[in-house]
């Protein structure tokens, strides 16, 4: 299904399925956004989706919104996202650290055409997430 502009996606699916990647404070979100878009495209969502970046208190965030829960589940599984209840109004919402090791794992999987590195990562405590 097509990637939609964020504003159109919000209008059509205001209670969709959200997966948020939190970048380190001071990080530039351009390259991570491009990389995650490529990952989503590789996962071949069946229904509409969109990606947007936001500046939050703790740093930049990459919002991925899906019409279909199965599509959001595939991304969440790929990036090992965890459940959260920070943003009201969404049908489901999860978050993950979009830090250096995760970016390297995503980039390597895109180059190899395979899965994201499955080695366990040390979870960071969710600061306000």
DSSP string for residues in 29-63: SHHHHHHHHHHHHHH--SS-EEEEEEEETTEEEEE
**Domain at 95, CATH number:** 3.30.70
Residue 122 lies in a domain: no
Query: Can you give the residue range of the structural domain that contains 36?
Result: 6-112
Q: Identify the DSSP state of 87.
A: S
Say whether pLDDT at 127 is over 80.
Answer: no
Residue 46 lies in a domain: yes
Length of the chain: 129
Residue 66 lies in a domain: yes
Residue 117 lies in a domain: no
Give the total number of structural domains in the chain: 1
Return the structure tokens found at 36: 């995650």
Residue 1 lies in a domain: no
pLDDT tens, residue by residue, 48-105? 999 999 999 989 999 999 999 999 999 999 999 999 988 889 999 999 999 999 999 9
The pLDDT of residue 36? 96
For residue 52, how many other CB atoms are within 10 A of its CB?
16
Closest by Cα among 41, 125, 56, 85 to 64: 41
């Amino acid at each position: 299904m097509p990637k939609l502009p964020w504003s159109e996606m919000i209008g059509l699916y205001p209670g969709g399925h959200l997966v948020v990647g939190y970048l380190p404070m001071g990080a530039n979100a351009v390259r991570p956004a491009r990389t995650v878009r490529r990952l989503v495209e590789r996962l071949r969502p069946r229904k509409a989706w969109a990606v947007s970046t936001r500046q939050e208190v703790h740093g930049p965030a990459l919002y991925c919104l899906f019409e279909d829960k199965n599509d959001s589940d595939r991304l969440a599984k790929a990036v090992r996202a965890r459940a959260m209840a920070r943003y009201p109004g969404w049908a489901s919402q999860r978050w993950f650290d979009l830090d250096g090791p995760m970016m390297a794992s995503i980039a390597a999987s895109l180059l190899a055409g395979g899965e994201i590195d499955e080695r366990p990562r040390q979870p960071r405590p969710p600061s306000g997430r």
